[in-house]
Structure 1
């Protein structure tokens, strides 16, 4: 527990009693409203003032439930992890568990694109995030090849790094398409003449092979294939250790 002079984390802070004469509030209601605003636009649409206005409440009332916008972001992200936990529990071997988690995370980010802006950085300590980590670690720790908890941590770090990077790239591309008013095919068509002129110079033979022979799968296939490569790499490293 925090010492007397230390700030109390949002997770340990009780909600204030609601006032019946005013619009009923709760942290859960505040978070749902903030998520709806972020889903409709992005994180820039989320502020205590805007959330309060959407709830027909004064901004100062929200400060009884949380202190900063960053705490609200923490609560929002934890709520999304709660969505992932609410799905059917993962089953199978460690590779199946990690693959299923990665696919669920991608599905959650596609529902809530703003999540990619909150991933990474300092560790998240919300109850849903902790339950999520416990579920993954318990599935991996003790599996064949994972002799020490550090092995499990390295595997989760590798998968998480891939998932976060891949999802940021996918969402950044989707945002760029919306800003430009062009989907990927339209962008390729617009830039094809320039690219073909550059390839005809002979300076980029391998890129030419990519244009001519690569399959260019869609985002979901690319994500799944990259995930398979990372999982295979983890398995190979574990085999070398035994």
Structure 2
């Protein structure tokens, strides 16, 4: 169903820049669907791209998402706004509203563009290799686009490429010998997702902290070393002492692979009946 939008768009999640220019939005066509809670806009994935028009700078959702990704890579999600994206593209901010209704839709497009890269990859020989390949590509994407980790595990990712990654992961896990029912599959997916989201967020947070403070692990240890030594000398923390004295600084990629392999084998292995 199509209706004419007089510019009073329900954009509860709009940024300050969005609200500043909201009242001047020109009339344009919205596509609505009926739900048990009333009419709502069709998801961005189901709305057609606006018809091309004569303009010095042609636009598309893919082009807008690419510009937004460049800005978020440089400044993070807090530095992202419709006004800045429009400036990056060389157009007026209001033109972007022909393509996205609000900030949430913009983030959806950005996230799905990253999932498009995750979905790429050669076919693997086994279900286990397939899952590990997807997980490692997800880590590579998060390291290349740190903001992506902030959005993992948040609102559902329902774009076509995100759905393709979800389908490939679920289909592979469903082939694990110990995954015999839909309940087993749900638990396996939940366990794997919980590990991946937590591990990536921790790794990204450590990278950001080191970058923002200018302090690497060696400098941090040097600064807190005397205090830690005094605490360990009390004898109250013998296991922590072993970790500090005997433990090595592990390679992040190798550790991620070891841990995700352990988790994957655990959640798909044979489990004793409770």
TM-score (norm 1): 0.92
Give the distance between the partners of 2:40 and 2:105, measured in 1 at CA. 16
Q: Does 1:166 align with 2:199?
A: yes
Give the distance between the partners of 1:35 and 1:26, measured in 2 at CA. 14
Match of 1:97 among 130, 133, 143: 130
The answer on whether the counterparts of 1:27 and 1:65 sit within 8 Å (CA) in structure 2 is: yes
What is the aligned partner in structure 2 of residue 191 from structure 1?
Answer: 224
What is the aligned partner in structure 2 of residue 235 from structure 1?
Answer: 268
Match of 1:42 among 65, 71, 76: 76
What is the aligned partner in structure 1 of residue 96 from structure 2?
Answer: 62
Query: CA, structure 1 residues 163+171, in 2 after alignment: closer, same or farther (shift >3 Å)?
Result: same
Output one character per residue of 1:115-143: Cα deviation in whole Å (capped at 9) or x when no partner.
01111123211000111111112222244
SS at match of 1:197: helix
The answer on whether the counterparts of 1:16 and 1:65 sit within 8 Å (CA) in structure 2 is: yes
What is the aligned partner in structure 1 of residue 44 from structure 2?
Answer: 10
Give the distance between the partners of 2:266 and 2:173, measured in 1 at CA. 15
What RMSD over aligned residues (CA atoms) do the two structures have, in Å?
Answer: 1.7
Query: CA, structure 1 residues 82+55, in 2 after alignment: closer, same or farther (shift >3 Å)?
Result: same
The answer on whether the counterparts of 1:84 and 1:104 sit within 8 Å (CA) in structure 2 is: yes
Going by fraction, where is helix more abundant, 1 or 2?
Answer: 1
Match of 2:249 among 189, 213, 216: 216
What is the aligned partner in structure 2 of residue 33 from structure 1?
Answer: 67
The answer on whether the counterparts of 1:98 and 1:159 sit within 8 Å (CA) in structure 2 is: no
Q: Return the offset for 1:22.
A: 3.2
TM-score (norm 2): 0.82
Q: Return the offset for 1:239.
A: 4.6
SS at match of 1:2: strand
SS at match of 2:272: helix
Tell which structure's C-alpha radius of gyration is larger: 2
Q: Does 1:122 align with 2:139?
A: no
